[in-house]
Amino acid sequence: MYRFHLDYCYILCSQPLSLGTVTCLVLIFGLYATSLSTDAEKGRRKVVHVLEDDTGAVIVQTAPGKVITHRGGSITLPCRYHHEPESSDPNRIRIKWTKVTDALVFEDVFVALGLQQRLFGSYRGRVSLEKNGPGDASVIIHNVTLEDYGRYECEVTNDMEDDTGFVNLDLEGVVFPYYPRVGRYKLNYHQAEDVCKEQDAILASHAQLHKAWLEGLDWCNAGWLEDGSVQYPISHPRDQCGRKDTAAGVRNYGYRHKEDERYDAFCFTSNLNGKVYFLKRFKKVNYSEAVKACVRDGSVVAKTGQLYAAWKIQLLDRCEAGWLEDASIRYPIVNPRTRCGGPQPGVRHLGFPDLKFRLYGVYCFRKNEESVNGDVVKSTQGPRKSSKDIPMNTTSTRTM
């Protein structure tokens, strides 16, 4: 039998979106509970008795829905547990966090047994227990990366008894369609993964693509997603994009052969650890001259994903076409005007011109300075902004 003070539960319930809210709701409403409330007991502390079976099983509660952060931020993955008897040795409790990378495929993140802890892979040096009182199995992920996005499992074990809960980690960011210089529909799944990484991004999930469609993304070319499916978002149905009389939505080709079939890619990127800017020059340059110009300015040529992040999050608006690292020509428009590519905001794409003879400006990227220990990024930017309410139109040319 568990005993919880009612006034304690009330405090937990009064904290919106906290893990305590989840625990209290589960304990009071999810299980059978009785409380003493007679007039004779006024002035005494009321106690809620929550009845369990006699197995002594560990019970884990995690936050419903998802937790949201951005690249470079810190986030708590909430998880709490309770068990009988309450006097169980905490040094015999094992806490294990894993990431669900695919159906029945798990990647180890963190394990703790008493005072002993172990971290795995890219999570080394970035994950720690929150330690917010007894029964807290929450972990904090620092310096969140794009690859941290996804679903996590919290498992708590006490001798032979165990229970699990799940938390979804979401990132603020932007989805963008991408195809390389060689042309459209040239990428198998693994090549799509690679080109997104080359552009400071990862393959987008269906949830991320669907959210982008809700915000106005309209793209008439099918692309790979991280789960191996091929989809494309249509906000304005038309005959050349699956018939005009069909409903708007995210069109789905289903799961395709990752080696043999070829499509474009939908990439996802998040907050920048630096600044994208248009390099002001007296004359336009070819590609090699653009690379040298950014280097002389203490920067590098910006990647496509960095330009999209600057447009979406930093609200970069520049009506001047410029070279990017992949030798494409693009420019970001937050406030549409007639001479800047149409009525919708978005990142305009002018293709992949001749590297030697075509002349344009250039977009550079400069990383934020790091602190002395190299672990903490010192921001040189103002408060983060977001254009999440702006419908996204990424280019003025779409063909299937």
- Amino acid letter, residue 93: I
Check residue 182 and give its pLDDT: 96
Best CA proximity match to 215, nearest among 388, 394, 69, 384: 388
Question: In one letter, which amino acid is 398?
Answer: R
CB atoms within 10 A of CB 27: 19
Strands 79-82 and 93-102 come out as: unpaired
Q: What is the number of other CB atoms lying within 10 angstroms of the CB of residue 221?
A: 18
Name the region of 217 (left: φ>0; alpha: ψ -120 to 50; beta: rest).
Answer: beta
Evaluate whether 345 touches 395 at the Cβ level (below 8 Å). no
Kindly report the pTM of this predicted structure: 0.76
DSSP letters along 286-306, please? -HHHHHHHHHHTT-EEPPHHH
Task: Say what the alpha-carbon torsion angle 69, 71, 74, 76 is, to the nearest 10 degrees.
Answer: 40
Name residue 94's beta-bridge partners. 113, 157
Which contacts qualify for 190-196: CB closer than 8 Å, 24 or more apart? 190/258, 190/259, 192/223, 192/224, 192/263, 192/264, 192/265, 193/224, 195/265, 195/267, 196/265, 196/267, 196/268, 196/305
Residues of the chain with pLDDT under 70: 1-58, 63-64, 84-88, 370-400
Tokens of 323: 């070279």
What was the pLDDT predicted at 47?
28
Question: Using CA atoms, how far apart are residues 195 and 168, in angstroms rounded to an integer?
Answer: 26
